[in-house]
Structure 1
Amino acid sequence: MTTAPRGGPAGPVSGGGQAAPSQVRPVAGSTLPADPHLARELLDGLAEAVVTTDHGGRVTLVNALAGALFPELRPGTDLAGGALPGLADAVRAGADTFDAEHHGRHLHGLRRELPGGRSAWYVRDVTEERARAAALLAERSRTRFLAQAGSRLGLCLDREQALRAATTLPVPYLADAALVVHRPPPPAGPVPHWIRYAAGDPGPAAGVGDPALLGAVPGLVGALDGDAPEPGPWRGAELTGVLPAGFGRPGAVLVSPMGGAGGPAGALILVRRPDRPGFDRRELALAREFAARAGAALAAAQLFGEQAHLARVLQHSLLPPDLPPVAGMALAGGYRAAGDGLRIGGDFYDLFPTGAGALFALGDVCGKGVGAAVLTGRVRQSLRTLRLVEPRPRELLGLLNRALLDAPDAARRAQFTTLLLGALTCEPDGGLRVRLAGGGHPDPLVVRAGGGIEPVRVGGMPVGALAAARFGVAEVRLAPGDLLVAYTDGVTEARGGPGGLEMFGEPRLRAALASVAGRPPADLVDRLLRLVDGWLGGQVHDDIAMLVVAPAPA
């Protein structure tokens, strides 16, 4: 008698080969070969356990594999006695299948009817199949967890947000509580901080750890230095003060380093309750991978925060300032950057009060974005300094021209700007005298109180382009109710309208100014910016700046 080895769904052995069991299973009305020895060899060669029963549930045949799986079964065994509970229950219930666990093995049985009310049960050991399926599901679950965690962590651009994600994401999938110990950025000092989240908490809790915490938790100091200690069960006292009051004694605890680009960003502590199994090999690898991703997210968020702070400082210094009040004058400025996320660009305006009145500047440097903003800052700072030694507008343009040409990087990059300077002086009758100097900038417009529009021809060459540049001059008087409107070419060259390509143009600008004649400068700026924004319709545009000057109302 030949005994087939255990295995998958292979069929009976014949001449040393295997065939699928479905090819030899009896069906209703079939008969076994007349030679009983051949029939027995066929049954014993099957890779499935075969048990046949009579109409009363008594075992009539047990093949070799069934005898190995169920040593308690013999021909004549009454299944009603409970010899094999899963099979016995199926026989009593008249079921066609059963699933049961027997001696630590998972079994699946399928019934086929035989003549005379008999039944043949084909039983397979599916322990390995289920283990493989469970492993596949577990791997899919781990992959899904890492994908979701990576997506969440990748969206954390704030350090505190990254810390909260690092503690909430692994609970309860990896642990019953998660704790991140980290050293905050300067000037907070070397005392460790922690943030914790446990299953059932309304949200993460944070605190400042006692310095003794580093020595009380085994492996924590090494993890903060980048080492990866092994997990272990610890006494509850070692985490007293950082776990929730009702958490109880911790079971398995795993400490993992949270690496960043410039070194460890912190340490992740995963804590399980005593009734939960410890970390197996795959869970350990998963926890380490999550900690590494969380550390990278924390380091990236911290770097982003530092850069955002730097950007805010630079932005504050480069954006057009709030105009200071000047006696006898009403002033208003407007600004739109060319879509840069930092809201800084190459157009600018500034106002410098003087003993006799004020000096204004409106300019448009070469380029866009951050590079143009850097040159803008250089021009504005140079003007602030040079005006102290030269208050006359045209002479001041000459000094600025020389300063830009003498810059160390002037030979490598374009350093020129169009610029309009205006010296404002109050007159006894309440009007303003404006002495203008221009360096290639669009001519300003005067809006008379009655609605008339007059251009002021200034001209001149761009500042910083040529050593022998010549600059234009002009003078205009503003009576009460009049306004001087200075603007950059981003206003007239704004492309939009019904077709999306037509320029706003000077005629449309003049019509808009005439419609608000006699209104305060702030109203004019607001009206004009809304018109240009509507004309653009959200399209990309050049930098826009404008400055409106008028005598103060009586």
Structure 2
Amino acid sequence: MTTARRGGAGGDGQPGPDDPSRSPGDALPADSPLARELLDGLTEAIVTTDGAGRVTLVNAIATELLPEVVPGTELPTCAVAAVARAARDGADAFDAAHRGRRLRGVRRDLGAGRHAWYVRDVTEEHARAEALRAERSRTAFLAQAGSRLGLTLDRDQTVRAAATLPVPYLADLALVIHLPPPPAENRPHWVRYAEGDPAPTTGLAPWSLAGALPGLAEALGGGISGPGPWPDPEPAELAAALPPGFGRPATVLVSPMCGPGRPAGALVLARRAGRPGFDQRDIELAREFAARVGAALGAAELYGEQVHLARVLQNSLLPPDLPAVPGAALAGGYRAAGDRLRIGGDFYDVFPISGGAMFALGDVCGKGVGAAVLTGRVRQSLQTLRLVEQRPLELIRLLDRALFDAPDAARRSRFTTLLLGTLGSAPGGGLTVRVAGGGHPSPLVVRADGRVAPVPVGGMPVGALAAARFAEAQVRLAPGELLLAYTNGVTEARGGSRGGETFGDERLRAALASAAGLPPAALVDRLLRLVDEWLDGQSQDDIAMLAVAAAPDA
């Protein structure tokens, strides 16, 4: 690298800074004290080689990072494998570990076969990059876990996801120990998943398992413990929980899965021999994942309890099978809002009485479980009051007083619109229908010739006011004619081509006119289908309808 001096603008014969002939390669002799001082002051290691591959220059930082590099020796034979390999292969860069440090270097051509290697110590930079990648990986794992755990409210699916998600990212095997909710057998269950398994495996564990694995008893009680070795000798309870051929794990970490109010179980993560043990970040990540599993299990259990309660309500509140009524044909239709719990505030019922039947159809204020509870109260009250009063107008007055005098604080915001009617044989054939109304849409009569007319009953909502007034009307149905009682969920259904238009009274009457002569069951099915098509998948209010027809042979 030594070059001849040239004359220039400098007073000492050195080229001046503005001399056009000056270049980095001949600015200062490499062996001059000033050049050496400048090179040794750099934070980047510099190694130069001549055309024969011998080292010609090593600055101070290069001596510290690459003590094997000695001036005058051939670089390929030195002990710096990464530099030697790069030089041998003609590579222009390398990135490798050396003496516990991370080094990154590039080669520059100096001409005449000479080269300069510029080497930087990137250990800290590499460590920061690795930490960032690890943190991003952990964040991605938790995001994926949160998404998977949040997509289901089924307890069994949540437990299976808890076993499969940590493998192989956190462990070679995951074992979820959990207690199923009552009325299941109150013994620990486990779900196991190991890398390479086609699907999780389930099993029933003895209580002795909690004492066989260190930390498991504490985790089942909500406590935490650090990672440790797999027990040696291996208890039979633990051996039964391992998949065949898995071998004896080297390290195990047990974390509690804490749900709302109580521990939901424990997560056991095991790593095979040859894999590093759990460091502090692994432990923190495992604990965070186990906590999310516990919360998901708590939500799934709460949802399961709600579904169970809804089923109990459903069994008691769904419209009953309609009884046979002499001289009449009946059919009912029902849709709960959203059609999820299949319970709501609309209802109908038919009670056999002497000489015919009594029917009720109503719409309780509100939706969901709250409305369903009031629906049950109304129906139970009707079941009781009809034993002492079977005249529609008088019965609706008794029901109004019973609801209005209810002691609960929410009664003033809870009321129902209602139709109460009786069916009996009419002189000369057909049916006589007496209907009392309490603020409900008037029922519609469909005559044999297709004419549709309302039965005006009016009245005020039942249970809403202290001095409510109600009305009663009577209509005769000839054989083949029909009366339809319905809730406003039919006429107020919003849909159509514009998405927000109500089904309306006119469409309902037109549909009834076109269906004149159909049996009640066929007419109800047709109306429900028309409303469903009108909604086109949009949300709906509760719907109930009851069709009563005079039998042709009555």
Are 1:221 and 2:193 matched, yes or no? no
Are 1:76 and 2:72 matched, yes or no? yes
Residues 189, 476 of structure 1: alpha-carbon distance in 2 compared, 3 angstrom cutoff: same
Give the corresponding residue for 2:407: 408
For 1:186 and 1:270, locate their aligned partners in 2 and report how far apart those are by CA, in whole Å: 27
Identity %, equivalent residues: 71
Deviation at 1:207, TM superposition (A): 0.9
What secondary structure does 1:377 align onto?
helix
Q: TM-score, normalised by structure 2?
A: 0.88
Deviates most, 260-269 or 461-470: 461-470
Residues 188, 76 of structure 1: alpha-carbon distance in 2 compared, 3 angstrom cutoff: same
Q: Which amino acid aligns with 1:266?
A: G
Give the corresponding residue for 2:244: 245
Q: TM-score, normalised by structure 1?
A: 0.88
Residues 455, 95 of structure 1: alpha-carbon distance in 2 compared, 3 angstrom cutoff: closer
Give unmatched runs, 5+ long, in structure 1: 1-25
Contact 1:416/1:465 (<8 A) preserved: yes
Question: How does 1:445-524 map onto structure 2 within 5 Å?
Answer: 445-497=444-496, 503-524=502-523
Deviates most, 362-371 or 221-230: 362-371
Q: Which amino acid aligns with 1:129?
A: E
Contact 1:337/1:544 (<8 A) preserved: yes
Give the corresponding residue for 1:176: 172
Give the corresponding residue for 1:132: 128
Q: Which amino acid aligns with 1:205?
A: T
For 1:521 and 1:292, locate their aligned partners in 2 and report how far apart those are by CA, in whole Å: 56
Provide, for residues 334-385 of structure 1, a one-character-per-residue CA deviation record: whole Å limited to 9, x for no partner.
Answer: 2334447534333221111224322100122334444433322221111011
Provide, for residues 261-312 of structure 1, a one-character-per-residue CA deviation record: whole Å limited to 9, x for no partner.
Answer: 1121100000111121111111111111111111111111111111122122
Residues 437, 233 of structure 1: alpha-carbon distance in 2 compared, 3 angstrom cutoff: same
What secondary structure does 2:310 align onto?
helix
Contact 1:48/1:65 (<8 A) preserved: yes
Question: How does 1:296-335 map onto structure 2 within 5 Å?
Answer: 296-335=295-334
What secondary structure does 1:191 align onto?
coil
Provide, for residues 222-281 of structure 1, a one-character-per-residue CA deviation record: whole Å limited to 9, x for no partner.
Answer: 000011111111137242111101111111100000111112110000011112111111
Give the corresponding residue for 2:437: 438
Question: How does 1:520-531 map onto structure 2 within 5 Å?
Answer: 520-531=519-530
For 1:273 and 1:119, locate their aligned partners in 2 and report how far apart those are by CA, in whole Å: 48
Residues 209, 69 of structure 1: alpha-carbon distance in 2 compared, 3 angstrom cutoff: same
Contact 1:236/1:250 (<8 A) preserved: no
Give unmatched runs, 5+ long, in structure 2: 1-21
Residues 407, 236 of structure 1: alpha-carbon distance in 2 compared, 3 angstrom cutoff: same
How many correspondences in the alignment?
A: 529
For 1:188 and 1:244, locate their aligned partners in 2 and report how far apart those are by CA, in whole Å: 25
Give the corresponding residue for 1:356: 355
Deviation at 1:540, TM superposition (A): 5.2
Give the corresponding residue for 1:396: 395
Residues 553, 253 of structure 1: alpha-carbon distance in 2 compared, 3 angstrom cutoff: farther
What secondary structure does 1:473 align onto?
strand
What secondary structure does 2:330 align onto?
strand
Q: Which amino acid aligns with 1:479?
A: A
Residues 547, 110 of structure 1: alpha-carbon distance in 2 compared, 3 angstrom cutoff: same
Give the corresponding residue for 2:263: 264
Are 1:123 and 2:119 matched, yes or no? yes
Residues 95, 358 of structure 1: alpha-carbon distance in 2 compared, 3 angstrom cutoff: same
Residues 57, 497 of structure 1: alpha-carbon distance in 2 compared, 3 angstrom cutoff: closer
What secondary structure does 1:241 align onto?
helix
Q: Which amino acid aligns with 1:329?
A: A
What secondary structure does 1:358 align onto?
strand
Residues 92, 35 of structure 1: alpha-carbon distance in 2 compared, 3 angstrom cutoff: closer
What secondary structure does 1:128 align onto?
helix
